[in-house]
Structure 1
Amino acid sequence: MTLTRTPRLVAGVAAALLVLGPAPAHAAARHPAASAGPASATLAGPPGPPQGTLPQTGCQRAAGTATCDLWAKPGSVVLPGAATPVPIWGFASTDAAAATLPGPVLVVDQGDQVTITVHNGLTDNLSLAFPAVTGLAPDRTGAAPGAARSYTFTAARPGTYLYQAGHTEYGARQVAMGLVGALVVRAPAVGGRPSAYGDTASTYDDEAVLVLTEVDPAFNAAPRTYDMRAYAPKYRLINGKPFPETDVVATDVGRRVLLRYVAAGLQPHPMTLLGLDQAVVGQDARPAAYPEAAVTLPLQPGQAVDAVVDVPTGPDGRRFALYESGGQLNNAGQRYGSTVNGVSPQQAFGGMLTFLDTNPPPISGDHTGPTSANVRVTPNPASVLNTITVTADFTDARNGNSVVDRAEAVVDDLRIAEGTGVPFTAAGFGVGPTVVGATAVLPGDLLGTLTQGRHTVWVRGHDVAGNWGVVGSTTLNLAVTGAVTTAVSLSPNPTNGTGDIAISATGDDRGLGGTVTDAEYFVDATGPSGSGRPLTLANPGAAVSAESGGIPAVVAAALAEGRHSVQVHTRDSFNFWGPYGSVDLVVDRTVPTLLSAAVDPAVTDGRTGSASDPAHLRINAAFTDPVGGGVHSTIAGVEGFLDVGGADGTGFTFLALDGSFNSATENTYGLLPLSELTGVADGTHRVLVHARDSAGNWGPLAAVTFVLDRTGPVITALTATPNPTARAATLSLAATATDVSAVTAAEWYEGTDPGVGHGHPMTVSGSAVSATVALNGFSKGNHTLWVRARDALGHWGTAASVTVNVDPPDAIFSDGFSSGTSAWSQVSGTVSVSAGQLVAGTVGYVVDDTPAAERTIHTKADVILGTFNPQTAVVTVHQLRNAAGSPLAVVQYQRGNGVNQFRLGLLRPTGWAYTGWVNASGGTVRLDWTSATTGSATLRVGTATIGTLTGDTSGYTVESAALGLVARTATTTGSLSFDNYASTRYTAP
């Protein structure tokens, strides 16, 4: 157990705890002139006896045995501020006695064999549990209703124990209803003084059991069905009583007090003693190794703690507050006093609060006043028209057994002097120690000062020994006006004033004890009672009736935009018109407006939805309801239509982005299924959206657009310029690409379709597409060029074509090797470029693929023999090739008899033909070739004409040309160089 040393409370708080309200029990009688200090107050008055030790109660003892009986039964307790007695389940010591909260204190001696028998007077099985007693197995069956069950154990360890309802089905609820109590096992005396644990550290002079419980009236009203998660106690009790009805712990200066705490409730209760320390000497009947001092003991549910308090010497008559410092020091929020000069009543102290009260013990005499019980008020509820009678019983039989001579009642404020309250009358006053059925009539002038609502009626008795006793209380529910009108509501509210407005309310005259007879309402300004528009009563002549009616549409239409007050009041059978119940009516005729909207995606092919909702188009829209007449409504709904608006309320629904329509500005979204676009034509479409406010106003339809695009762009106005090309080097290709969405790409191709995206790219500018086509690669004749385009959704449209009559340009290809070999179509073998010339020492050459089915071709190239030595090899330095890469004409070089020689080779259908070898030492090599039935090829090297070959070459066309050390028949040394290559179609380069 962790002990908390709480600093002394601020002087004002401590003083409030000490002087607010009457002194509990007999202490109030003994100390009428109390004054407070920071932690204690010195009080003057006749002395009272100290507490002493506990009497041997609750059990029959004989020869080391103790036999105890507990009767479990329903009962009730009267609690301050509660309208009626609160039901409990409690224990009693006899079958005839009433159930109490807590049950009787059972006192036995250490070593006794204890038998406790529980007699079950409840409707559910009941067992007993003793949490700190060892050797007892949990009883999960218990005694059936009407039966009994006994529990036997040896009281081996002294100390304080909790007993409570056990482990049956409803055991936990039985505990919360009050089936708890304290068991005290006495230890042997030490040095002639009583001791809690048979040691010097736990000796004491005065002893008190403090059983701590709490009550939630809502739970007690339905204990078998109440949801325990909602359990919220309104009362906190010490030995079944809340302050100011708690009993003080009577002691004296220089004495030791043993406080036996039993935390029998469901909640923790930190108990603080102001001005003194508490030394814990044991917990759950187990002695502490060393007493530990603390101001606050944090008691947990089910704990039993024994603490010794040393009361210091000094002035007697002091009182020390003992209270729950961590709980609510009030009873169900109860207040005392009436509103005076605009000052509200003060919240009354209550809950777990009592005092250690010091006085020197008298030799003899009665210093304890009578107790009060069965306090009740009739009628209750009551009104100022009623005669209100307070009834109570008073007895001094359990205190000093003195004669009860008088009693009084006080409403709300216990601070008034004792003896000045409303007196009780009864034949029993002055006769004996018990008076039953005493009555006091609350005077009309007192009732006239009270406000509507609940009031606490306190009662206290007086005996002939001069003692005022413990106060008792009950709650008076008082009505001082006519029937109360509650739960006023309007529908619709807000309204746009175009229809009737329903009014509903409840008239309640239970406080006055009459019945509801009429009800009426006013809009904005009230008039004389009875002049308003009438409401219909659902139960005329009943104490409570629902009231209904309406504000006609014609009246609502005449109301200005803004806020209005509708006030309703009710008349009862006493002809009292009660106070108005009112509600604001908001008239709003300003329609909601669209702030922003967009469709996601803005372009769709009917198969692609938004990223968050792939099967839908998502329409995001923000609306606001502007202020009109100083008021505005909340956005209550949004709808949309595709292309064509419909009747209000028939569109597809939008949702609030934050989950609910509850503010004047809302971000919303609607989902349009893609399936709704089936059969809808491609093009730009509108989603028409508008919002409704809570007053019923629909705003105008506003359009937000999106594009539906299922097909690719259409190509029109396709042109090729020039056409015929007239030997132009390039061709301008242009067209118009039309699509409902943006055109993002275009391409052209010639001949076989290479597949979308694999053609030659074109330039796109809006809907115009264009390209410049180099004509070098085209053969002479008609060629069909195809053009197609792609839209923003990735759709390629159908290709359109144009036929171009190509007369290729004269120039085919030329290169001076200033940029290496990058201009050539391919490089084969090993070559290099040095000083702007192509160099080849072994087989290596470059290929130009620009020729396209050429029937006439002229080529030239500079051949520099340099250090090259062909030795015995025949070397091919130039080839004209067909589409398969096979040579059609070749230029060859050798060194014969030490002289450089060249020759020409021509392929004919019958095979290859060659010219003779002609002496030439390089220079410009020129080759002219023609495809014809009587085709020919002519070769010149430098100034030497090598020769001309003829034959049928009509079946051949040139598709490429190779230059370099293309082939050799034997090993060579050194290297050849080539430069200034050119090829043409019509004229020699």
Structure 2
Amino acid sequence: MRPSRTPRLLAGIAAALLALGPAPARAAAPPVALPTGRAPATLAGDPAPPQGVLPQTGCRLDGGTASCELWARPGTVVLPGAPAPVPIWGFAGTDTAPATLPGPVLVVDQGQRVTITLHNGLADALALAFPAVTGLVPDRTGAAPGGTRDYTFTAARPGTYLYEAGHTALGARQVAMGLVGALVVRAPAVGGRPSAYGDAASVYDDEAVLVLTEVDPAFNAAPLTYDMRAYAPKYRLINGKAFPETDVVATDVGRRVLLRYVAAGVQPHPMTLLGLDQAVVGQDARPAAYPEAAVTVPLQPGQAVDAVVAVPTGPDGRRFALLESGGRLNNAGQRYGGTVTGVSPQQAFGGMLTFLDTNPPADSGDHVGPTAGNVRATPNPASVRDAVTVTADFTDARNGNSVVDRAEAVVDDLRVAEGTGVPFTATGFGAGPTVTGATAALPADLLTTLTQGRHTIWVRGHDAAGNWGVVGSTTLNLAVTGAVTTGVTVTPNPSAGTGDLALTASGDDSGLGGTVTAAEWFVDTTGDNGTGTPLTLANPGAAVTAESGTVPAVVAAALAEGRHTVLVHTRDSFDLWGPYAAADLVVDRTVPTLVSGAVDPALSDGRTGSASDPTDLRVNAAFTDPAGGGVHSAVAAAEGFLDTGGADGTGFTFVALDGSFNSGTENTYGLLPLTELTGVPDGVHQVLVHARDSAGNWGPLAAVTFTLDRAGPVVSAVTATPNPTARAATLTLSATATDAASAVTAAEWYEGTDPGAGHGHPMTVGGTSVATTVALNGFSAGSHTLRVRARDALGNWGTPGAATVVVDPPNAIFADAFTTGTGAWSRVVGTVSAGAGQLVAGTVGYVVDDTPAAERTVHTRADVTLGTFNPQTAVVTVQQLTNAAGAAVAVVQYRRNGGTNQFRLGLLRPAGWTYTGWVAANGGTVRLDWASATAGSATLKVGTVTVGTLTGDTSAQTVESAALGLVVRTAATTGSLSFDNYASTRYTAP
């Protein structure tokens, strides 16, 4: 891993550390103010010399061998501010020495055969691991409890190594408990100077081993059961100590210092040296090709890094801070200040922080103050009315064995001057290095200045050497105003004030350590404590309990419309009433009203619903809840009734258009199923709608109308003019159509079989009047019944009305000069063309007129031009009258015989067809007269030539259609012939 060269000169850290140096020249160093509030004793005389090289420790050297022993056993470590020593598992160098964190430093020479004997004094198997030592097989069994295990290897490479608990089942937990240490393999000197790796780049004058570890007291208290996922160290240590108890690295100007880092914990630790560069010369006992300068060395768990620092020449007495620059320079988050008025909480410095000191104090006395422990406050929790006594133990036995001569307590703010706190009293002060059961009484005038809740009581001791020790602390829960009330709710809210209101809250004295004993409520204004309406406690005497009660309807009814405040407070076991908690209560007696409404569709046939909901009528309604007493509620619900209102809340439901009833004005809609209209009579109906607000007020019913129309228009006064028709060409058919619910939009007439609604002959509609002109050409003589019906705007067709008309058909049946093609004819059969005012046929093709209607006399006329037509051997029918069965009853035929054009007439009689002889004629106007009678007849004239007349019984025949063109041929023909100016009549020849 490449060390970082980025300096992390955090302004806050640097500013705080400036207070620690530089010290004046080497004659003497004055007291220095530390961030924890502790100052070392004034130093006198010459300072101590630089610390030089490591002494031979931990192993017996005998020529080429080194024998080392480690005893693993439980122990404890005293940490700054911890209320009691923290249990550890650690190594010791002898069978009688206590376990330490870390274990002893083992120092051997390069090339020696090393044997390390492990003595397991723990309750579980324990192995050793040396991560950077090569040639060792990992030990997964270890030494059994009470047993030993030897580890032998050759110290082939110089440098710094980590040793730690090995690869047994509990190895990781044993490492976290403190079973770690450092192994140093010394290289041969270079030019008479010690060297880390036997080269000039790593020579040094002073060296220090810095084993970096962490402690999570919660884990150390239960190492076998603790969930390691929750592991969160609260202390960070250098060689088992946290600032301000860490040991400085003693050196001097112009000297080279070798820092042997061993990251023995489970977290990374970036180590920064402020003001100097570190030259990394090796890592995990492997020398660097070239020293790499770094302000910060980012150490990962399990790493060992060797770095050389060159202390420059210049003024003596300077101190260079060496610290973990990960932003965690504290001991268990210790803070001071924060609850005294005007004082902000401050982080107390601690953790991995020490110094390279060019003016170290001489080791001629005690420089660390007593440790405080077993700090407690009584009573705790306490009321502001109580007298609070602080008890603590103080000892200097670990730090210098000086006499503890006094101690004091400070509440919250550690920045108060030392010696000005509340003094402790005890018979042991001034008698020895340990004082137990010392007490300090916090005066009432101090307690009354404190706020409700938790306070930190800091205690510190002073020894006869003039040292104030590291602070200890305890937390005091102080009840000043009683239990806390939270979660006040009033239900229903808003309220119409017509019924009881449910009141709930929660009383909580857990933060103060007391219990809840009573609660009460007021509306709008409070009274004396204990004069309110009591609430019922779900768990009387518990630290936290639910509280409930009822605001009676008579109280609610007496409240004016508007906003009110319900206030609740709680009494605790200290007989203190807590602060009021409040809930707004809105009393709203103003009902919501309808702003607008409509039914979609407003006109319904009972079969088709709205465009968005085809099976329902959609009732759209907007409601608002007017403000009353300065407040209004949200529209909370709406409903509707068909024609007749019902009990509130029993109608069909409306839905808020935006998906939620939550505002004072709501656009809503309800769906009235079409199935609900079954049995409902046609006509105007109303949907009665109203809304309810969130206070429970239902508004008045308001009508939104719609029309139900399932019957078609009624047709009356059907007339036909003229009647009888007296051979008029047309008649006027008219009627009156009325619809009770909607407009008449269409009408039609028909005769005979009903063609189905909408398939008759259309009529013109004007309001309630319908009329049309009927051409009489298609009517036979006699009485005819014409039926008229109408349709309304919803598509309902009504029942037909009728009129009987006596028809005397007009003389004219049909006429066409082919000026617009063949469009006037009823049908075109085969192939014909029309152009230049003529009908042209070359093959079988003709036009048919279906206008005749059971005609008993027919007169036809047409111009026939033979043109290029050559019938050759064929007989060609050029005109034909047909009966209702589609059979011919009279024909005009043409042929060419010996070059002569000839025509003849054919007539159908009961005995069959009869024909005139062939008569020469060259075309021109062809006239045909036919009559149906017992003595019927047919006459044909072509041009100026009368071909002849045929008679017979034709009474069984009537004419229903007439055909013109090349109707029939008996053989192939060539060329074409043309026709023009066709006309047919009933009574007289056209």
Please classify the TM superposition score into its range, dividing by the shorter chain length: 0.7 to 0.9
Name the counterpart of 1:205: 207
Name the counterpart of 1:824: 825
1:468-487 → structure 2 map (5 Å cutoff): 468-487=468-487
Task: Give 3-state SS (helix, strand or coil) of 2:467's partner.
Answer: coil
Name the counterpart of 2:95: none
Structure 1, 149-158 or 931-940: larger mean CA deviation: 149-158
Tell me, in whole angstroms, the C-alpha distance in 2 between the residues paired with 1:853 and 1:153: 133
**1:698 aligned onto 2:695:** no
Percentage of pairs with the same residue: 60
**1:721 aligned onto 2:720:** yes
Q: How far off is 1:906 after superposition?
A: 1.6
Q: How far off is 1:907 after superposition?
A: 1.8
Which amino acid is the alignment partner of residue 961 of structure 2? S
Tell me, in whole angstroms, the C-alpha distance in 1 between the residues paired with 2:675 and 2:137: 74
Name the counterpart of 2:25: none
Name the counterpart of 1:436: 436
Q: Deviation digits for residues 827-878 of structure 1, max 9, x if unmatched?
A: 3333222312112233322223333443333322221223333344332211
Tell me, in whole angstroms, the C-alpha distance in 2 between the residues paired with 1:741 and 1:392: 99
Name the counterpart of 2:497: 497
Q: CA distance change for structure 1 residues 630 and 949 in 2, over 3 Å: closer, same or farther?
A: same
Q: How far off is 1:816 after superposition?
A: 1.9
Task: Give 3-state SS (helix, strand or coil) of 1:906's partner.
Answer: strand
Q: Deviation digits for residues 712-732 of structure 1, max 9, x if unmatched?
A: 746644846348572443664
Q: Are the counterparts in 2 of residues 904 and 914 from structure 1 also a CA contact under 8 Å?
A: yes
Tell me, in whole angstroms, the C-alpha distance in 2 between the residues paired with 1:375 and 1:824: 123
Tell me, in whole angstroms, the C-alpha distance in 1 between the residues paired with 2:786 and 2:56: 122
Name the counterpart of 2:522: 522
Tell me, in whole angstroms, the C-alpha distance in 2 between the residues paired with 1:457 and 1:298: 37
1:80-159 → structure 2 map (5 Å cutoff): 159=161
Name the counterpart of 1:953: 954
Q: CA distance change for structure 1 residues 899 and 142 in 2, over 3 Å: closer, same or farther?
A: farther
Which amino acid is the alignment partner of residue 357 of structure 1? F
Q: 1:188 is matched with which residue: 185, 208, 216?
A: 185
Q: How far off is 1:934 after superposition?
A: 2.9
Q: Are the counterparts in 1 of residues 321 and 354 from structure 2 also a CA contact under 8 Å?
A: yes
Q: Are the counterparts in 2 of residues 736 and 769 from structure 1 also a CA contact under 8 Å?
A: yes
Q: 1:250 is matched with which residue: 234, 248, 251?
A: 248
Q: CA distance change for structure 1 residues 950 and 227 in 2, over 3 Å: closer, same or farther?
A: farther
Tell me, in whole angstroms, the C-alpha distance in 1 between the residues paired with 2:40 and 2:818: 125
Structure 1, 678-687 or 859-868: larger mean CA deviation: 678-687
Q: Are the counterparts in 1 of residues 238 and 246 from structure 2 also a CA contact under 8 Å?
A: no
Which amino acid is the alignment partner of residue 208 of structure 1? L
* Runs of at least 5 residues in structure 1 that lack an aligned partner in the other structure: 24-29, 37-41, 95-99
1:149-298 → structure 2 map (5 Å cutoff): 159=161, 181=178, 183-184=180-181, 186-191=183-188, 205-211=207-213, 237-239=235-237, 248=246, 250-251=248-249, 255-261=257-263, 264=266
Q: 1:346 is matched with which residue: 344, 347, 371?
A: 344
Q: How far off is 1:550 after superposition?
A: 4.0
Tell me, in whole angstroms, the C-alpha distance in 2 between the residues paired with 1:921 and 1:270: 129
Name the counterpart of 1:976: 977
Tell me, in whole angstroms, the C-alpha distance in 1 between the residues paired with 2:746 and 2:130: 89
Name the counterpart of 1:361: 360
Tell me, in whole angstroms, the C-alpha distance in 2 between the residues paired with 1:303 and 1:732: 112
Name the counterpart of 1:900: 901
Tell me, in whole angstroms, the C-alpha distance in 2 between the residues paired with 1:320 and 1:88: 27
Q: Deviation digits for residues 476-514 of structure 1, max 9, x if unmatched?
A: 111223454444333333222222334344556677887
Q: How far off is 1:325 after superposition?
A: 5.2
1:315-714 → structure 2 map (5 Å cutoff): 316=317, 318=319, 320=321, 322=323, 336-338=337-339, 340=341, 343=342, 345-349=343-347, 354-359=352-357, 360-365=359-364, 366-506=366-506, 519-529=519-529, 532-535=532-535, 547-570=547-570, 576-594=576-594, 623-653=623-653, 661-665=661-665, 687-703=687-703, 713=712
Q: How far off is 1:410 after superposition?
A: 1.7
Q: Normalised by the size of structure 2, how large is the TM-score?
A: 0.76
Q: CA distance change for structure 1 residues 639 and 272 in 2, over 3 Å: closer, same or farther?
A: farther
Tell me, in whole angstroms, the C-alpha distance in 1 between the residues paired with 2:735 and 2:948: 48
Report the aligned-residue RMSD. Answer: 5.9
1:786-805 → structure 2 map (5 Å cutoff): 800=800, 802=802, 804-805=804-805
Structure 1, 579-588 or 609-618: larger mean CA deviation: 609-618
Which amino acid is the alignment partner of residue 905 of structure 2? L
Q: CA distance change for structure 1 residues 519 and 827 in 2, over 3 Å: closer, same or farther?
A: closer
Name the counterpart of 1:26: none
Task: Give 3-state SS (helix, strand or coil) of 1:554's partner.
Answer: helix
Q: Deviation digits for residues 765-824 of structure 1, max 9, x if unmatched?
A: 88887766555444445556667778888x876864646546344443322222222333
Tell me, in whole angstroms, the C-alpha distance in 1 between the residues paired with 2:601 and 2:119: 81
Which amino acid is the alignment partner of residue 370 of structure 1? P
Q: How far off is 1:126 after superposition?
A: 13
Q: CA distance change for structure 1 residues 117 and 244 in 2, over 3 Å: closer, same or farther?
A: closer
Structure 1, 431-440 or 956-965: larger mean CA deviation: 431-440
Q: How far off is 1:982 after superposition?
A: 2.4
Tell me, in whole angstroms, the C-alpha distance in 1 between the residues paired with 2:973 and 2:354: 130
Name the counterpart of 1:97: none
Q: CA distance change for structure 1 residues 444 and 666 in 2, over 3 Å: closer, same or farther?
A: same
Q: Deviation digits for residues 721-759 of structure 1, max 9, x if unmatched?
A: 348572443664657485978988776665556667666
Q: CA distance change for structure 1 residues 697 and 844 in 2, over 3 Å: closer, same or farther?
A: same
Q: Deviation digits for residues 310-358 of structure 1, max 9, x if unmatched?
A: 4854665546484675789897897723353xx4x42432698653334
Q: Deviation digits for residues 926-964 of structure 1, max 9, x if unmatched?
A: 222233333322222233333222223333333332222
Q: How far off is 1:380 after superposition?
A: 1.4
Q: How far off is 1:580 after superposition?
A: 2.8
Tell me, in whole angstroms, the C-alpha distance in 1 between the residues paired with 2:60 and 2:693: 78
1:710-749 → structure 2 map (5 Å cutoff): 713=712, 716-717=715-716, 719=718, 721-722=720-721, 724=723, 726=725, 727-729=728-730, 732=733, 736=737
Q: Deviation digits for residues 519-571 of structure 1, max 9, x if unmatched?
A: 54433233454554555566777777665444443333333333222333455
Tell me, in whole angstroms, the C-alpha distance in 2 between the residues paired with 1:613 and 1:142: 80
Q: How far off is 1:879 after superposition?
A: 1.5
Which amino acid is the alignment partner of residue 568 of structure 2? V
Q: Are the counterparts in 2 of residues 34 and 44 from structure 1 also a CA contact under 8 Å?
A: no
Q: How far off is 1:910 after superposition?
A: 1.8
Name the counterpart of 1:916: 917
Q: How far off is 1:44 after superposition?
A: 12
Name the counterpart of 1:891: 892
Q: CA distance change for structure 1 residues 423 and 496 in 2, over 3 Å: closer, same or farther?
A: same
Q: Are the counterparts in 1 of residues 866 and 976 from structure 2 also a CA contact under 8 Å?
A: yes
Q: CA distance change for structure 1 residues 208 and 512 in 2, over 3 Å: closer, same or farther?
A: same
Q: How far off is 1:405 after superposition?
A: 3.1
Q: How far off is 1:132 after superposition?
A: 10
Task: Give 3-state SS (helix, strand or coil) of 1:205's partner.
Answer: strand
Tell me, in whole angstroms, the C-alpha distance in 2 between the residues paired with 1:750 and 1:508: 94
Q: CA distance change for structure 1 residues 669 and 224 in 2, over 3 Å: closer, same or farther?
A: farther
Q: CA distance change for structure 1 residues 500 and 185 in 2, over 3 Å: closer, same or farther?
A: same
Task: Give 3-state SS (helix, strand or coil) of 2:186's partner.
Answer: coil
Q: CA distance change for structure 1 residues 833 and 670 in 2, over 3 Å: closer, same or farther?
A: closer
Q: Are the counterparts in 2 of residues 102 and 240 from structure 1 also a CA contact under 8 Å?
A: no
Q: Are the counterparts in 2 of residues 278 and 307 from structure 1 also a CA contact under 8 Å?
A: no
1:749-768 → structure 2 map (5 Å cutoff): 751=752
Q: CA distance change for structure 1 residues 653 and 530 in 2, over 3 Å: closer, same or farther?
A: same
Which amino acid is the alignment partner of residue 210 of structure 2? A
Tell me, in whole angstroms, the C-alpha distance in 1 between the residues paired with 2:796 and 2:438: 105
Tell me, in whole angstroms, the C-alpha distance in 1 between the residues paired with 2:658 and 2:78: 51
Q: Normalised by the size of structure 1, how large is the TM-score?
A: 0.76
Tell me, in whole angstroms, the C-alpha distance in 2 between the residues paired with 1:813 and 1:661: 74
Q: How far off is 1:689 after superposition?
A: 4.3
Compare CA radii of gyration and give the structure with the larger one.
Answer: 2
Q: CA distance change for structure 1 residues 666 and 862 in 2, over 3 Å: closer, same or farther?
A: same
Q: Are the counterparts in 1 of residues 120 and 126 from structure 2 also a CA contact under 8 Å?
A: no
Q: How far off is 1:17 after superposition?
A: 5.8
Which amino acid is the alignment partner of residue 388 of structure 1? V
Name the counterpart of 2:26: none
